[in-house]
Amino acid sequence: GHVRTFTGYRVQHDNSRGPFKGGLRFHPEVDIDEVRALASLMTWKTAVVGVPYGGAKGGIAVDPTQLSSHELERLTRKFVAGIHDLIGDHVDIPAPDVNTNAQVMAWIMDEYSKFHGFHPGVVTGKPVDLFGSAGRDEATGRGVVIAIEEFLRTQGHEVPESRCVVQGFGNVGSHAARILHEKGARVCGIGDHTASFYDAAGLNVPSALAWVREKRVLQGWSGGPSIPNGELLLSPCDVLVPAALGGVLTKDNAEALQCRIVAEGANGPTTPEADEILQRRGITVLPDIFANAGGVTVSYFEWVQNIQQFAWDETRVRVELERIMRKAFRDLTQTAATHRTDLRTAAFIVAIERVARAAQQRGV
């Protein structure tokens, strides 16, 4: 019954290699600097995996838990009404991010159509019933698991031999935990902002997923020993997957990590200071612009299906995702070996070279 004003942002970073592409997040701490940084990361992420996009990002400074579904719909539609001339299926293509989902993308598509007619490719991550793609919901989490598989293989190991901790149990974390469990890994730790659990013998991931489907958060789940949230990242494991918000691995906790591999499911979970500490300690980091690029890759598949008006089945989506992620890993490891550097630096070398080459060839 009262009026509130919210600030929204859309930053377009670079489109040398194709239309701008990037998520839209709803979070109270969204600000222009964060959105700018994430937009630039999208430029490098799309280049690393070789999909024909540039980089963009958007956000609205709002706590979506304080709004009803109807209020969120009105907020989303008002945002689209303000930026509809700046987005489009060959201009700038939003997608889900923190606290946004397929329903929000459906509202964006519908509001955009009021101004420009039928253009399902204006946004990706839509419901399958509304021109979305099979396999999009799990894509980022599946991409993280493929990245882990590829690296473990170079070390002579396999996923079934690995102990994993997944921090964050939203879209990325829950699917990563599920797929790791299905592939035989021992998922020892899971957690979200409400609760964390750790059991060296492994947790019942299907039970946790069922609980979260009903309750939306892990709080109250009784399927494993509870631990303080701050201890989850420091729990013993082979593979740590930070899949929540950015900046969770810092100079204050990097020395205490008890893992061999960090697979970045979130965007920017490791601060530069922590990155240096992890390198010194010999902990391998699978960088976010590669490890969590499964989402934008399947977004590309969805866009292709929308443009062609021809839907793929889930098997084809998974096969194509694996092909692209595995090729990207080969490119990273070859670049890292050539330049004798870590995988994050190698990822930026690959990405910047590709963007620079496209800009130069276009005559920009």
Overall residue count recorded for the chain in this entry: 364
Region of 288 on the Ramachandran plot (φ > 0 left; ψ -120 to 50 alpha; else beta): alpha
Burial of residue 229 (number of CB atoms within 10 Å: 0-12, 13-18, 19+): middle
Which phi and psi angles does 226 have, rounded to 5°? -85, 140
The structure tokens listed for 325 are 């992620």
**Mean predicted confidence (pLDDT) in 106-124:** 98
pLDDT, one tens digit per residue, over 187-203 is 999 999 999 999 999 99
Letter for the amino acid at 279? Q
pLDDT at 1: 77
Whether 91 contacts 123, CB under 8 Å: no
User: Collapsing DSSP states into helix, strand and coil, what is residue 269?
Assistant: coil
The pLDDT of residue 105: 98
- State the Cα–Cα distance between residues 146 and 140, nearest whole angstrom: 10
Q: What is the pLDDT of residues 330-346, one digit of tens each?
A: 999 999 999 999 999 99
Residue 67 has pLDDT above 90, yes or no: yes
pLDDT in tens, 293-314: 999 999 999 999 999 999 999 9
163-145-240 Cα angle (round to 5): 40
Sort strands 239-242 and 226-227 into parallel, antiparallel or unpaired. Answer: unpaired
Using the predicted structure, report yes or no on whether residue 161 has a pLDDT greater than 90: no
pLDDT at 166: 98
How confident is the model over 277-292, as a mean pLDDT?
A: 97
Report the pLDDT value the prediction gives residue 63, as an integer from 0 to 100: 96
What is the pLDDT at residue 75?
98
| pLDDT tens figures, 233-276 | 999 999 999 999 889 999 999 999 999 999 999 999 999 999 99
Q: What does pLDDT average to over the chain?
A: 96
> Residue 147: what pLDDT?
98
171/100 Cα distance (integer angstroms): 10
For the annotated catalytic residues, the residue numbers are: 57
Does 177 have pLDDT greater than 70? yes
Query: Is residue 364's pLDDT more than 70?
Result: no
- Residue 245: per-residue pLDDT: 86
The token pair at 256 is 């205490």
